[in-house]
Each structure stands twice: as structure tokens, then as C-alpha cells.
Amino acid sequence: MKKGMYIISLLCLTGMLSAQEDYQVVDEIVGVVGNEIILLSDVESQKGQLLSSGTVIQGDLTCRVYEALLYEKLLLHQAKVDSIEVTEDRVQGELDRRISMFSQQLGGTEKLEEFYGKSVAEIRQEFYQAIEEQMLVQNMQQNIVADITVTPADVEEFYNSIPEDSIPLIESEVEISQILIKPKPSASAIQEVKDRLEGFRQEVLEGKDFATLAVLYSEDPGSATRGGELGLVGRGQMVSEFEQIAYNLDEGEVSRVFKTEFGYHIMQMIERKGEFFNARHILIKPRISSADLTAAKEKLVEVRELIAADSLSFEAAALKYSDDEGTRNNNGIIINPNTGSIRFPMAEVDPQLFLVIDKLEVGQISDPVLMQSLQADKAYRLVKLRYRSDAHKANVVEDYQLLQEMTRSSFTDRAVSDWLQDRIQSTFIRVDDEMGQCEFENDWTKNR
């Protein structure tokens, strides 16, 4: 990816509605692209945000940011020339998403309003145009590369064009699948949790502070310290059982005890704003006994025996028995969250899994092994090593997907470069004299 495009993506991420320090400068126009202007404050603000985020930029930061802004304004100008539109619903949806994200980061809607010194309605009004323009820029970027296709012949040609000493080295990779069984709490443990939560509910109805109870008793580490408050969230952000309760509560109302995949809850609605809500909740998980864990392990022993006797394939067993929704319907295959691929470089394999697969041959299935989730929940699983490659130079047979993406990236860079050269020549561009001293990747100074 070109440096300019890379920085543009960073500016989009760190731009509008970013909970960063406010950088104030004496303003002046330092660039014009078509009908769009670049202010000195734009440059300084983006520099400050990149520095605050810890992003490392090669070369002169001012020049890199300025060129990225020239590119952004060129995209915006051309989007308007081409009559590209973004619907109001999409802009409002993006505003909703960002307001929700930053209210969660800051600890709730009130904290967000305090941070900006404005109401949510005023924040929405102030940032509407900026978000709309940012989305126009993104749409224009997508239009430039929309027609790019990559065929197997393209991949082969690209691979053959790589100098022998530049062919990437691929480290050892693995494909892993699993069947996971979570221990089931006893009926008495479940009833104990329900009774506790019902007791808390009655205390709140009698006047006790919900937030205090959440701090003292909730087992949700993400919200307990904030009095159980979630911050502003929208549809699709919470599990369906939680949302179903939330959207049926009035402000101030306390729910009955209800269950989700995380445990049992009670919820108090703080406020509702259209499709968004802010609520407090208390989560308690039924205690898992050693007997519950043993039962899960023994069930996996039975499943492994069925697979070993060819009574059931590993894939069919995953679909039938696994409690992990993320892998059950995918033949038990674990997806690499960093790439979306089914392959993991060995350095990216979870340490708990690494210790298991390190002892397995390809196609072999482990005995039931204990695992612990990020939430400290314990379960047992069978692990199958589906594939392992040795470290090697990339080749079209084993690494087609990687080479296909490299080919696509090459085509994208070429399309963007061609588009830039064409539009720079046909668009009025004025670069400030001081900024014109920068060493740009593209010839932005043709009108100086």
C-alpha cells in the first residue's frame, strides 16, 4: 500500500469524533484542491492525533500528513464532481456508531457530553458534515479500485515477476479444529444465582442504589467498576437475549432475572435514544464444581472414542456436540482473528493450543484438554491438527491466497497511482510555499 493511502486510512480512523486532545493553532489556508481547502489547523490537528496514538510515520511528519490531506481533498473534490452521494441514514448510522464507541470509552453518555462540553444532539450536529465528507472520500477510494479483478494467471505472472531473493519467507503455519464442551452448572447452582439476583432486584425496588450493588456483586469486569453502566449501545452490539430485554424496558425500570450465554442478569434502563440505549446490569455466573468439569471431560472421552471407531467424523461430532458457536458450524475449524484465514503462523497460536498441537501429528486428535477463556471460564476440548507446513519460500501451490492478495495490492497501487496522476494534472491545486518545500511522492506542485 502506498504511504499516502496508508496515512489516509489512519486519518480516517483518528479523525472526527476522536477522543483526543484539542490542538489549537492560528489558522490560515495552506492548500487548495479544486473547491476544497486545507487549513493549517487541519495539518496540526492530524499530526497531534497521530503522535498521541503512538503511530510511527516514516519521513517528515508534517509533509506526510500534508500530502495525505491533499489526497483526501482530491478524493472529496472528485466525489462531488462525480455526484457521488452518501445517504443521510448512512451518515446518521456512522454518527451513532462513533458516539456509542466513544461514550463507552469515556464511561457513559454524561462523560461524553462533559468531555466535549456539549449535548449529544449538539455533537451530532457539529460533526455531521465532517462524517459525511469522510464517507464520500471512502466511497471515492472504493470506486477507484472497484473494477479490479485478479485471475489465477495474474497471480502466476505476479509471482514470476518477483526476484528470487525477494520471494517472501513463510513461517511454519498450522490449521486447527476443536470440539469444545462447557461444563453445565447444577440446578441448585443456577437456582442460587437466580435467588441472589431476585434479592438484589427487590432491594433496588425498595430504594437501594443499583450502581452500588453492581460495584459490589457484578461479575462483569467491563462494567462492574462503573456501577454496571454499559454506555450508549445500539442494536446488534449485545447478544440477542440482552437486547430483547433492553428494548422492552422503560427508563428507570428494572428487569426480571434473565439468562444469556454469559450467565444470569438483572438490568436497569438508564435512557433510551431511538435505536440506542444506556443501561446498568448485574451479571452473576453459576458456580462450576469439579464434578461439573469432570462430566464435561468424560463426555469428550466418549466423543473421541466414537471418532476413533469411525462411528462419527470429527467434523460431524463438532456440529453435534461442540458448545463453541464460533467453530461448531465450521467443521470445528478455528479461524485466525487477525487475518480471517484458517491458517495460523505458529507465533500467533494461543499458548494453550500451542502446548497441545506441538505434540500432535497432522490428522491426530488430542485427549480432552482443559482450557480457560479470557473471562476465566473453564471448559474441556478435543483438538485436531489439520495441517502443518514447514517454513518455506512462498509458492503458488501452498500460498495462493497470500499471493493473490499481494497481486491485488499491486493492482490497487497501480490503479490509485494512475488515477492520481490523471486527476492531479486536470485539477486546480495550490500548495503553500512553505509546504511546497516537502519531498512529495506525487507532483502536487505543478501550479506553483
- Say what the pLDDT of residue 1 is: 44
Structural domain boundaries, residue 179: 173-183+289-393
- Considering the entire predicted model, what is its pTM? 0.63
Same domain, 237 and 322: no
Cα separation, 354 vs 383, whole angstroms: 11
Are 179 and 321 part of one and the same domain?
yes
- In total, how many domains does the chain have? 3
- C-alpha–C-alpha distance, residues 108 and 114, integer Å: 10
Burial of 325 (0-12, 13-18, 19+ CB in 10 A): exposed
**161 assigned to some structural domain:** no
The count of C-alpha atoms lying within 13 angstroms of the C-alpha of 358, restricted to the half-sphere facing its C-beta, is 9
Judge if 139 and 24 occupy the same domain.
yes
Dihedral sign for Cα 302, 305, 310, 314, please: positive
pLDDT band at residue 204 using 50, 70 and 90 as cut-offs: very high
29, 115: one domain: yes
Contact by Cβ (8 Å): 281, 267: yes
CB contact at 8 A, 383 and 366: yes
Q: Last residue of some domain: 269, 284, 299? A: 284
- Is the pLDDT at 21 greater than 50? The verdict is no
Q: Is the pLDDT of residue 271 over 80?
A: yes
Asked, for residue 400, whether it belongs to a domain, the answer is no
What integer pLDDT is reported at residue 112 of this predicted model? 83
More confident residue, 273 or 217: 217
- Whether 41 contacts 65, CB under 8 Å: no
Residue 312 lies in a domain: yes
Q: How many CA atoms lie within 13 Å of 221's alpha carbon, on the beta-carbon side?
A: 3
Tally of CB atoms within 10 A around 282:
30
- Put residue 75 in one of left, alpha, beta given phi > 0 → left and psi -120 to 50 → alpha: alpha
Residue 154's pLDDT is what? 97
pLDDT in tens, 430-447: 999 999 899 998 889 866
Query: Mean pLDDT across the stretch 67-90?
Result: 94
- pLDDT for 111 beyond 60: yes
Q: Is 375 contained in some domain? A: yes
Instruction: Let me know whether 86 and 235 are in one domain.
Output: no
Q: Residue 385: which H helix or E strand, with range?
A: strand 378-388
Looking at the fold, whether 113 and 26 belong to one and the same domain comes out as: yes
Packed helices 3-14 and 40-52: angle between N→C axes, nearest 10 degrees: 80
| 126 φ, ψ (degrees, to nearest 5) | -65, -40
CATH number of the domain where residue 114 is located: 1.10.4030.10
Grid cell of 346 as nine digits: 505458529
Same domain, 51 and 14: yes
Going by pLDDT thresholds of 50, 70 and 90, the confidence category of residue 6 is very low
Would you say residue 344 lies in a domain?
A: yes
2, pLDDT greater than 80: no
Cα gap 89→139, rounded to integer Å: 15
Residue pLDDT, tens place only, 400-423: 988 999 999 999 999 999 999 999
User: Mean pLDDT throughout 160-166?
Assistant: 94
Residue 100 pLDDT level (bands cut at 50, 70, 90): confident
Task: Give 20's pLDDT tier (boundaries 50, 70, 90).
Answer: very low
One domain, residues 266 and 294: no
Same domain for 415 and 355: no
Answer with the one of 284, 317, 335 that is the final residue of a domain: 284
Determine the pLDDT at residue 13. 44
Mean pLDDT of 95-120: 82
Same domain, yes or no: 311 and 367: yes
Residues 178 and 317 in one domain: yes
pLDDT in the model for residue 303: 97
Q: Which residue has the higher pLDDT, 166 or 21?
A: 166
Mean pLDDT calculated for residue range 377-394: 94
**CATH code of the domain containing 379:** 3.10.50.40
Answer whether residue 445 is part of any domain: no
Q: Number of helices (H) and strands (E), helices first, in the chain?
A: 15, 13
Distance separating alpha carbons of residues 142 and 198, to the nearest angstrom: 52
Q: Which three cell numbers stand for residue 362?
A: 497432522
Distance in angstroms (rounded) separating the CA atoms of residues 256 and 252 = 13
Beta strand pairing status for 369-372 and 344-345? unpaired
| 107/334: higher pLDDT | 334
169 vs 25, higher pLDDT: 169
* Same domain, residue pair 258 and 304: no
- Average pLDDT, stretch 283-295? 95
**Domain limit, last residue, from 284, 310, 338:** 284
Average pLDDT of every residue of the chain: 89
Considering only CA atoms, which of 218, 233, 235, 241 is closest in space to residue 279? 233
Across the strands, what pairs with 370? 380
Contacts of 223-230 with C-beta under 8 Å, sequence gap 24+, read 223/280, 223/281, 226/107, 226/108, 227/280, 228/268, 228/280, 228/281, 228/282, 229/107, 229/108, 229/270, 229/278, 229/279, 229/280, 230/104, 230/278, 230/279, 230/280, 230/281
- Coil, strand or helix at 133: helix
- Cα–Cα distances (Å) from 444 to 66, 134, 197, 419, 424, in that order, read 11, 21, 65, 14, 7
Query: When comparing pLDDT for 100 and 356, which is higher?
Result: 356
- The confidence score (pLDDT) of residue 24 equals 53
Q: Is 164 domain-assigned? A: no
Q: In the chain, what percentage of residues exceed pLDDT 70?
A: 93
Instruction: Tell whether 74 is covered by a domain.
Output: yes
